[in-house]
A and B are shown apart, each in its own frame.
Chain A
Amino acid sequence: MRIDGNTESPRQSMSWLHTWASLILGWLLYAIFVTGTLSFFQNEISIWMKPELHQSINRKDQSQQLQSAIVYLQQNAPNASAWNINLPNARSTTTDITIRGENEDPRARRGGDRVILDSVTGEKLQPRETRGGSFLYRFHFELYGLPRSWARWIVGIATVLMFVAIISGVITHKKIFKDFFTFRSGKGQRSWLDGHNATAVLALPFHIMITFSGLLLLMYSLMPYGVSALFPEGRLHFLQAQRAQLNGETIRSVEFASSSQKLDSSKRNGHGEGEKGRLNKERSRLEVKNVPLADLTAMLAQAQKLWGDNTVASFNIISPNRQNSEVEIRATYSESILNRAIVPTLIFNGVTGELISQPQQLKISFPIGIYNTVTVLHEARGVDLVLRWLLFFSGILGTIMVASGLILWCVKRAPQQQKQGYKNFGYRLVEVLNIASISGLLIATAGYFYANRLIPVTTENRSFLEIKIFFIVWLLTLLHAALRPHRNAWLEQLLFGAILFCVIPLLNALTGGRVIWSSIAEAQWVVATFDLMSLALGMILLFIFYKVKNHKVAGIHKTKKNINLESAAMRGEGQ
C-alpha cells in the first residue's frame, strides 16, 4: 500500500493494513477491551456497588442457608406458583430469591419478585439503586444510548477489524516464535514497540479466542444468514433444535418414567404454550390440595453427595405446598466446558421427596463443542476465581496491547512532526483521542465507582446519575487532553487515575463497605476481589506513569538502533 506504487512484500502490506485497520476503530476497541475486561468481575463490581449486601457472609452451611430462605418464603409467600432460591457461592454472599406470583409461569426466565436475604440471619436486605457492573458489561457490546442493533453492528465491525489486525500482525511479525521465547530484560528502556509485541504475543491465544468468540456471540446480528436459511422461524427455533440435538440420544436410549419424560420434553421445548397447558390441565385434574412441602434438606444432602465439589447452586420449587409440587436442584458448574449452560440437575417430587429424574447423557457434536468452548471462555461462565483472574490479566494484556498500539502510531510519527515544527491536525487528533480514551476512560470508570458511593442512597434516579457522571468525567478528560500540552496531559491523567484506583479500598471502607482485611479474613472474596482489582489497576497506572515520566529522557538519548528498529518494523506504511 505504498504511495509510490512500488512493489512490496506481503509482510509490508500487512504491516500497513495492521496499522490502519487498527487505528480506525482503535479507541472503540480499547473501550470495549477495558469494559469487557472489567466485566470478568461483573458480579464483584455489582456487589461492591451495593455495600448494603456486604454484611452477609457465606458460612458455607448450605442446609442452614436453605432453611432460613424457606422460613422467609413460608412466612411471606406461601401461595406462590414457584420459589427460586439461589444459594450463596464464591461470587455472591447473599441468598437471592425469586418469587413467582400465583398466576405466573413457574418456569419463566424473567420476571418475578426478587428478594435478597442475608445468608446467615435470613434478614431481608435492601440494596441501593444502581446498574452496577451490568452497565460496564452492556457497554462492552451494546455501548450506551444507541439502538441495540446499531451498537452491536458497530462493535461487530470493530471486532472484525481487531481480527484483521491480529492476523495481519502475526503475518508482519516474522520471528513470532523466537520472540515468544526471548525476553530481553535489562537492556535499558523497552520501547513501546517491544511492549506492544510482548503483550500481543504473550496473550495471543487469548486475543484470538476473545475476538473470534466475540463475533460468534454476535452472530445473530452479524451473520444470521445460515440460521435463517435452515431455520426460517428464527433464532429461537434454532436454539430449540440445538437443545433437542443435545438431548436427542438420551431419549431414544434410556427408558424414562412417563412423568419425567413428559417433564423432560416440556423442559426441552422451553416454557411455551404446551407447558402452561399441561400444568393447567394437571392442576384442574388434581384439584390442587394444600400439602406440606417435603424436607428439602434431605434432597440437598442427596445432591451434595452426588455432586461432591460441584456445589449445589439453586433450588427451583414449583407449586410449593401443593400436591403437584416439584423441586429442581441445580449444580454450580456444568460437567465440561463443552456443554456450556447445561448443569447437572436433579428433580424431586415435592411432596414425597423421591427422586424422579434420571441422569442425562448429552450428545455434543464437534461444531457445538467448538462454539461452546470459545464462548464459555469469553463469558467466563462457571469459571472459578483463579481462571477468572487469569482471564482478567489476559484482558489487561489485551488492553495494554491496544493502548500501546495506538500510542505507537504517534511515537512513530513524532520525529517527523518535530522536524516540521508544528503538529498536523490528524496527528494532534490522534494524540488527544489517545489520552482521552486510554487514561480518560479509566478515570471515568473510577468516577463511576466513586459516584456510586458518594451520591446519597435516597437520591432519585441515582443509577442514571451514576452513568451520567461516568460520561461527564470522560468528557472532562477529553477537554483536559485537548487543552494541556501532550506530555503533561498524559502524566496528569495517569497519576490522577492511579490515585483514584488506589484509594478505592479506602473509599469502600469509609462509605459502608466491608474493609479489605475483614473481607479477606471472612473469605468474602467477592468484595475483596474488587478492592484487589482496583489496587492492581492503580498499580499498573502508577507503573505506566513512571514509565512515561522517564520516557522523555530515554527519547532524547534514543539510540540509532532503536529508531531503526521502529522504522523497520513499521516499514511499508503509506506515510
Chain B
Amino acid sequence: MLTTEPCNLIAEESSIKRKVKHKVVPAKYRWMIFYRFILAGIGGYILSALACVVLSYLFKAHPVDAVLSATMLAFIIYVSVFIWVFINHSTQRATWGVVIPSVLLFIFYWGLKGII
C-alpha cells in the first residue's frame, strides 16, 4: 500500500531483512516485546480502570450517564494506551507514558474519595 515510496527503499529494506534473517533473534528483543505487551495489556488496563472510576466520581451528579460515559471512554483509553505503547520507539518513553497518568489518576482518585 506504500507504493508511492521510492523503490530503492524497498530494496534496501529487503537487504536488511536478508541480513537479519540469518541471525538468531536476540533474547533482549524478545523480552522487550514481552514487556511491551505486559505494559500495554496490564498497565493499560489499570490506567483505563482508574480513568473509569475517576470520571464516574467527577460527574457523580448524573450517576447513570457518568458511569456509562466513563466506561465507554475507558475502553477507548485502553486501546489508545495499547497504540501508544507500540508507536513509541523508546521503551522508556512508552513506560512513562503509562505510569505517570496512572499515578496522577490514582492520587486524584484518593483525593476525590476523601472529599466524597
Contacts and interface: CB of A to CB of B under 8 A. Distances in A.
B92 interface: no
Contact of A231 (B36, B62, B67): B67
SS class, residues of chain A in contact with chain B: helix
B1 A17 contact: no
Interface residues of A, number: 58
A8 B86 CA distance: 11
Contacts of B33: 1, 20, 574
A191 to B, nearest CB: 11
Contact of A1 (B63, B83, B86): B86
Nearest to A166: B79
A215 B45 CA distance: 13
A568 B72 contact: no
A496 B64 CA distance: 51
Contacts of B115: none
A163 interface: yes
B106 interface: no
Contacts, number: 142
Interface in A177-200: 179, 193, 197
Contacts of A219: 71, 75
A464 interface: no
Interface string A216-246: 1001000101110111000000100110010
A14 B86 CA distance: 7
A567 B10 contact: yes
Interface residues of B, number: 46
B29 to A, nearest CB: 5
A205 B89 CA distance: 30
Contacts of A461: none
A197 B1 CA distance: 10
Nearest to A5: B29
Contacts of A371: 68, 72
Contact of A230 (B5, B20, B63): B63
B98 to A, nearest CB: 15
Contacts of B49: 223, 225
A225 B77 CA distance: 14
Interface string B48-84: 1100110111001011111111111011001100110
28 contacts: A3-B23, A3-B29, A10-B87, A11-B2, A14-B87, A16-B86, A17-B83, A20-B33, A160-B79, A160-B82, A163-B75, A164-B83, A175-B1, A197-B1, A212-B75, A216-B71, A226-B55, A226-B74, A229-B67, A230-B63, A238-B67, A241-B64, A245-B64, A367-B72, A368-B65, A564-B3, A569-B2, A571-B2
Interface of B: 1-3, 5, 7, 10, 13-14, 16, 20-21, 23, 25-26, 29, 33, 36, 41, 48-49, 52-53, 55-57, 60, 62-72, 74-75, 78-79, 82-83, 86-87, 89
Give the top 8 A-B pairs by smallest Cβ distance, nearest first: A226-B56, A367-B68, A17-B86, A226-B70, A226-B67, A367-B69, A226-B52, A569-B1
